Amino acid sequence: MMRRLFPRVEALIREVQGNMAVEFALLLPSVLILLGGLIEFGSVMYASSSLESAARAGAHYAFEKGLDKPGIEEAVKNASSYPANKLTVASSMACECDGAAASCSSDCASGYVPYKFITVQVTATNDPWFPVIDKLVPTSFSGSAMVQVP
């Protein structure tokens, strides 16, 4: 008796012509978000690796030239594949005697010259490609390297 009351509804339920299009429309947003996340994650990893490499290049320059802040900054910006206007480079020198922090201008109590270390810190801001994923990725990246100088 019920079948005769709703023959059109029964015909729609049995109709399978548009099922594939409906399934595609339902799955497409999820697949796009997943793909966007993979691309964003790859971009984050590449940027982080680039900043670490740039910091090492700055430390290498510092090993050869000493604490030349403009030179270190230029070496970092030349070595990074990240846009130079988004990079912030900081370099500093610290000294230690017998494992403890010391002044770089005077000798250690034991009479030796203190060990000198130069640290290069590079930071950059992140502009996510996909607006949905911007809350899941870091807003800034950083890389650092330390080198003992003569």
Tally of domains within the chain = 1
Q: 114 lies in a domain? A: yes
Integer Cα distance of 65 and 149 in angstroms:
9
More confident residue, 85 or 11: 85
Q: Are strands 100-102 and 115-125 parallel, antiparallel or unpaired?
A: unpaired
Q: 101 lies in a domain? A: yes
More confident residue, 141 or 57: 57
Cβ burial 8-46 (10 Å sphere, 16+ → b, else e): eeeeeeeeeeeeeeeeeeeeeeeeeeeebeeebeebbee
Q: 1 lies in a domain? A: no
Could you tell me what percent of the chain has a pLDDT over 90? 34
Q: 75 lies in a domain? A: yes
Cβ count near 136 (within 10 Å): 12
Q: 119 lies in a domain? A: yes
Print the domain residue range for 56: 17-149
Q: 98 lies in a domain? A: yes
Q: How confident is the model at residue 119 (pLDDT cuts 50, 70, 90)?
A: very high
* 40: its two tokens: 């964003």
Mean pLDDT, all residues of the chain: 85
Q: 113 lies in a domain? A: yes
pLDDT digits (tens, 9 = 90+) for 10-27: 666 676 677 788 888 899
pLDDT digits (tens, 9 = 90+) for 30-65: 998 888 888 888 888 888 898 999 999 999 999 999
What is the reported pTM? 0.74
Annotate 20-54 with DSSP letters as a single string.
Answer: HHHHHHHHHHHHHHHHHHHHHHHHHHHHHHHHHHH
Q: 125 lies in a domain? A: yes
Angle between helices 69-79 and 19-65 (to 10 degrees): 150
Could you tell me what percent of the chain has a pLDDT over 70? 89
pLDDT higher than threshold 60 for residue 1:
no
More confident residue, 136 or 81: 81
Rounded alpha-carbon distances, angstroms, from residue 48 to 59, 78, 82, 117, 120 = 17, 16, 10, 23, 15
Can you give the pLDDT at residue 3? Answer: 52
Can you give the pLDDT at residue 9? Answer: 67
Integer Cα distance of 78 and 92 in angstroms:
19
